[in-house]
Structure 1
Amino acid sequence: SQLFILMVLFELGSALLVPLAIDAKQDAWLAILLGMIFSFVLLLVYHRLYLYYPDLLFTEYVQKILGKPLGFALAFVYILYFMYDASRVLRDFGEMLLAFAYPDTPLFIANALLILVIIYTVRKGIEVIARSGELLFIFMYFLAIAGFILIISSGLIDFKNLQPILEAGLFPVLKVVMTQTLYFPFSEIIVITMILPYLNNPKKAKLTMFCATALSGVNLIITMLINVCVLGVNLTARSQFPLLSTVQTIQVADFLERLDVFFMLALIITIFFKICLLFYAAVTGAANLFKVKSPSSLSYPFGLIILFLSIAIASNAQEHNHEGLKIAMFVVHIPLLTIIPPLLLIVAFFKNRRKRVKNNFSPE
């Protein structure tokens, strides 16, 4: 249950904030659905690698599969990726907070306050992160369901905004799937390969992974459907944070309005856990790779690196979004999340097969 909750919170993360798959226009929901379905193949890859090396972290069995020098280098690259991804999500948090609540507050201060809480949480270990998830998951879903009911009751939804379906055919949707939704947010869940060895019941890992991805996918589909129905395609595409723009339009009986503060809380919860897991993966992986006896001692230096990287990563929000959707997607996400893991699985398959053959023919 804790793995399920962490995966759902992670995948929702910053994906709730941005106009996800809006390049597919009114078919954005379909692009998210197909991205979720295709990501199941990658989940099978991650799970199969875990079955081959159930007691090892991803950064450990990469070295077993590829050998020490190459495996060490690749494990180090993944640690850098976890830190880079954490800094991107932290920047998303800061931009959201400044845009809607604290326009005169420096970005550094907003990001520093969150990273301090994350450093404290990560130092406490994965069990504390998971238990915190159990508490805040219920609160977040309460807010989400309340918001959904309020949007419907305020009469804002216009289903005509979803028409025509597949206006330009299936190709533009598939293009968005292959360039965006497959990688963000679904394939980013490779981070769980750094916590799977700690499961109490490994047999349920596969089902849990599929169910969590399915639930988060459905949530993202509903979110984008509501955004497009309420705001329309053009306004959703132009809005930096369409969900918060949608929530700001809620007005029930001239009494309930300006509810964006409550939904910012829900978004902060998901962003907090996404950064926590990425941060934890980077700290644990680095401690394992460099033989650091106390992983928690790396929390402060890593936290500072992520904080300063989140500021230096781009000069403004537009540049940050462009880098994330157009550059990092191709340079970082595609090779690290969809090309390298299947190749590792192929090598691991042949290595384990050879080992089994040796064991079968070895004299008793």
Structure 2
Amino acid sequence: MEKAKISLYQLFVLILLFELGSAILVPLAIDAKQDAWLAILFGMFGGLFLFWVNYRLFLYYPELVPPEYMQKLLGKILGTLLAFSYTIYFMYIAARVLRDFGEMLLTFAYIETPLFIVNALLMLVIIYAVRKGIEVLARTGELFFVFIYFLAITGFILIVFSGLIDLNNLKPILEEGIFPIAKVVYTQTLFVPFGEAIVFSMIFPYVKKGKNGKKVSLFAIALSGINLAITMAINIGVLGVDLTARSQFPLLSTIQSIQVAEFLERLDVFFMISTVICIFFKVSIYFYAAIASTAVIFKIKKTSSLAYPLGMVVLFMSVTIASSYAEHLKEGLQFVTHFLHPFFFVVIPLLLLGIAFFKNRKKSIHQ
């Protein structure tokens, strides 16, 4: 582990930027139709519980990262295999988010540019940032956090003053009851983006006063859930359910609709800037977790030496995991969220927490 420390505020910023990540890009929870915002909020509450599970594990082993306490709990061989599985998984999800970034830029502005070139440009920046360590990444997050929120508040005000929002598009609430929403929560929003906060278990040992990080982390996840729910409600209010569902990037379509006083328009470039920043942090944190985990498993002291080789793996995965964006989305909705996410985000953490509880029955932990 590198000798680095980040503050509770920096942890809050990283979690918030990570959770927004690519989630602001896609029509999140649109299978719940006009109740998508409700599905996001319910998914957020489930995500808070999953985060609590991982935080309890951290409290049992506050000086260790997951690959280390997995070996303690499951034995060296089984623990190492599980830790390695998480490493591959983090790299795979980083590649998926990087693919989202590339597809967004190709759709928005660089139609003739090869996907590989676009992804490579961002990946090189991510490799550079991750080589500098978690402290530098956290300080960078502090700089961009204020900028992102300024753009978000400005965009919200402009959409309201444009008179684009039709609240009738959000009615009727719970038209088909609670079950369609529960299905979307279980298959989508519980895991993406809220369950993904499991990756921060690799960062907890670096946090100053890490044992006080629970409230800050839960507040960051809750705030991101509220932000995403508001975003989807605005998308549906402006575009309607059908157009939101058909749009690859509904927030982009919403922002392109802004027209104030017949001169303030074409503000989609601000959307692109904020999205690139959020995706940069999401991929960076996944990538950092994969590198840190690899270094622990294979006992590599110079962690930064892994950045370039593993970065190239993530880059090539991002362009080869699917032949088209439609296939990429289908794989994410039908395979990843149904099989991989439940196993890595729910089953394994609960199993590890159960084992840790029985192994530490006589040990008191302070929250």
Normalised-by-shorter TM-score class: over 0.9
What does residue 88 of structure 2 align with? 80
1:12 is aligned, of 9, 14, 20, to 20
Q: How does 1:195-214 map to 2 (within 5 A)?
A: 195-214=203-222
Q: 1:62 aligns with which of 70, 84, 100?
A: 70
Please say if 1:156 is aligned against 2:164.
Answer: yes
**Residue in 2 aligned with 1:122?**
130
Q: Which amino acid aligns with 1:71?
A: G
Partner residue in 2 for 1:237: 245
Q: Distance in 1 between matches of 2:152 and 2:36?
A: 20
Q: Distance in 1 between matches of 2:51 and 2:96?
A: 23
Does structure 1 residue 184 correspond to structure 2 residue 192? yes
Are positions 1:313 and 2:326 aligned together? no
Q: 1:256 aligns with which of 261, 264, 268?
A: 264
Q: In the alignment, does 2:254 pair up with 1:273?
A: no
1:354 Cα shift? Answer: 6.2
SS of the aligned residue for 2:127 comes to helix
Q: CA deviation at 1:130?
A: 0.2
Q: What runs of 5+ residues in structure 1 fail to find an aligned partner?
A: 357-364
Of the three residues 333, 340, 347, the one matched with 2:341 is 333
Tell me the SS of whatever aligns to 1:187. Answer: helix
Pairing 1:42–2:54 present: no
Which residue of structure 1 lines up, in the alignment, with residue 60 of structure 2?
52
**Normalized against structure 1, the TM-score is what?**
0.97
Equivalent position SS for 1:252 = coil
Q: TM-score, normalised by structure 2?
A: 0.96
Map 1:92-131 onto structure 2 (within 5 A). Answer: 92-131=100-139
Which residue, 329, 354, 365 being the options, matches 1:346?
354
Q: Name the structure 1 match of 2:303.
A: 295
For 1:94 and 1:100, the matched residues in 2 are separated by: 10
Aligned residues: percent identity?
Answer: 64
Instruction: Show structure 2 runs of 5+ residues with no match.
Output: 1-8
Partner in structure 2 of residue 359 of structure 1: none
- CA-to-aligned-CA distance 1:55-80 (integer Å, 9 cap, x gap): 10111111111111100000000000
Question: Aligned-pair RMSD on alpha carbons?
Answer: 0.9
- The whole-number CA distance in structure 1 between the counterparts of 2:283 and 2:105 is 16
Counterpart for residue 202 of structure 2:
194
Amino acid at match of 2:175: E
SS at match of 1:176: helix
More helix by share: 1
What do the CA deviations read for 1:306-363 (whole angstroms, capped 9, x no partner)?
A: 000000010011000111111111221010001110110000110112678xxxxxxx
Q: d(CA) in 2 for partners of 1:25 and 1:37?
A: 20
Residue 220 (1) aligns with residue 228 (2): yes
Q: Runs (4+) of structure 1 moved beyond 6 Å? A: none
Shift of 1:241: 0.4
How many pairs are equivalent? 356
For residues 266-320 of structure 1, what are the alpha-carbon distances to aligned partners after superposition, in whole Å with 9 as ceiling and x for unaligned? 0111000000000000000000100111010000000000000000010011000
Amino acid paired to 1:58: P
| AA at the equivalent of 1:251 | Q
